[in-house]
A and B are shown apart, each in its own frame.
Chain A
């Protein structure tokens, strides 16, 4: 074989190796995004499980505050049905607002506020909210890394064909809690 024949083979082999490494990296980044989302999901579920108990606890003292209970129940259901990260984030904000109103109602009932059951529920609620915030930070970081990768050359040319789609951040419109790093292009 002439010398250039070997060169061509060497170049092809090098390209194949690079392609395999790059592809594996994309798969890994995508798996990280999936794990990140699963983490958020776990915490959202945990909180959803707390809410009925919390509503019941408040209802025991303030049965007439129907509007607030309905609102919380509705927001909780909406979050359960949300199909995209962005939608879930918006529903999550709604639910937070509704829970805020529920707790504001509870403020008016000193016995309720002092009851051990309610205090524990409130404490658990705060904890899950902190954990949702933490899981969201991790998820958004993984999304940013993954999106940056599939939107940079050469992957931007083939990512779609290989089934790598940009992912959505877990954040409602105009939310500032996305990683503060500039990158070319944005999630569709």
Chain B
């Protein structure tokens, strides 16, 4: 699949996603309307759509907030900035993405932004402290490939939609449980609503996961092509595989349903977004990805990783 075909396929998927989202939302609003009142259903729908639109318009800032990615003084990360510039030039991006830093010991990275010209790459401090330059370059190239093939666009939409669905389902669930006397409809309606409210967030999650799997292989291949170095990408993945801190996020993506307050919601969204954009969650197994790179590049990774100086050390010494 060429890059252009990939971009076109992503546009189509985005359209399907929007339609699916609206259908799911209509269903939920219908259920809310059925158990409470039609007017409540309409209001819920309007609020949810409004929230989604605002979220899409403000997605750059929102993703930064929920991931905890902060902007940093350009001078303090000059070598990293240069590395990202070089990768972007090699990828033929119209502009170099900004860099944001996430203070987290787990090595990881993500890309965000609706348009390639206004995107940014978030990297954890753990990534900088673990990866040597060559592998860091590969990880950045992987994220740049996501930006280039418009995955970030699709993923941002998916995250927002999943969040909105979870919000509406949560509200509906509360209305059902605590609604008391204002509740209408028989036991059957209530049961259907309960099932709907409980399952909707999982449906959204499933949708998201189905979107992200195959494109990881594509982004790996893209990174290998950008750097003309498939081995670097494979080495980076192996290093991620060997890193014990990655396990922390393994089960975070199911936390969606049990949110208490808006601040807690931000907390759970944070996990959801990370799970999505992280290099290794909702992703094919690292082993599979490494094997795909080995086959494409015609090489075998050595048993032991080269023990090169992590990039952060070079960052500091300059």
Show the binding face of A for B, using Cβ within 8 Å. Answer: 25, 28, 32, 35-36, 39, 43, 127, 130-131, 133-135, 137-138, 141-142, 179-180
Given A28-B4, A134-B87, A137-B228, CB of A35 within 8 Å of CB of B82: no
Give B249 Cβ to nearest chain A Cβ, in Å. 32
**Alpha-carbon gap, A35 to B226, bound state (A):** 16
Question: Is B82 within 8 A of A138, CB to CB?
Answer: no
**Alpha-carbon gap, A130 to B134, bound state (A):** 13
Q: Which residues of A contact B85 (CB under 8 A)?
A: 131
Given A127-B82, A130-B82, A179-B228, CB of A142 within 8 Å of CB of B92: yes
Q: Which residues of B contact A133 (CB under 8 A)?
A: 86
Return the contact of A134 from the options B4, B86, B225 (Cβ within 8 A).
Answer: B86
Give A105 Cβ to nearest chain B Cβ, in Å. 25
Q: Which residues of A contact B225 (CB under 8 A)?
A: 141
Majority secondary structure of chain B interface residues (helix, strand, loop or mixed): helix
Question: Is A131 within 8 A of B86, CB to CB?
Answer: yes
Q: Give 8 nearest A-B pairs by CB, closest first.
A: A134-B90, A134-B89, A138-B92, A134-B86, A137-B90, A135-B89, A130-B86, A138-B90
**Alpha-carbon gap, A69 to B90, bound state (A):** 31
Majority secondary structure of chain A interface residues (helix, strand, loop or mixed): helix
Give B62 Cβ to nearest chain A Cβ, in Å. 31
Q: Which residues of B contact A127 (CB under 8 A)?
A: 82
26 A–B contacts, CB within 8 A, in A order: A25-B4, A28-B4, A35-B92, A36-B92, A39-B89, A39-B92, A43-B89, A130-B82, A130-B86, A131-B85, A131-B86, A131-B89, A133-B86, A134-B86, A134-B87, A134-B89, A134-B90, A135-B90, A138-B89, A138-B90, A138-B91, A138-B92, A141-B92, A141-B225, A142-B92, A179-B228
A-B contact count (CB 8 A): 35
Give B92 Cβ to nearest chain A Cβ, in Å. 4
Give A9 Cβ to nearest chain B Cβ, in Å. 28
Interface string of B3-45 (1 = CB under 8 A from A): 0100000000000000000000000000000000000000000
Q: Which residues of A contact B86 (CB under 8 A)?
A: 130-131, 133-134
Residues of B in contact (CB 8 Å), total: 13
Give B186 Cβ to nearest chain A Cβ, in Å. 55
> In the complex, what residue of chain A is closest to B2 when comparing beta carbons?
A145
**Alpha-carbon gap, A141 to B82, bound state (A):** 22
**Alpha-carbon gap, A35 to B95, bound state (A):** 12
**Alpha-carbon gap, A154 to B21, bound state (A):** 42
> In the complex, what residue of chain B is closest to A29 when comparing beta carbons?
B4
**Alpha-carbon gap, A133 to B83, bound state (A):** 12
**Alpha-carbon gap, A132 to B84, bound state (A):** 14
Q: Which residues of B from 223 to 262 have beta carbons under 8 Å from A?
A: 225-228
Q: Which residues of B contact A25 (CB under 8 A)?
A: 4
Q: Which residues of B contact A130 (CB under 8 A)?
A: 82, 86
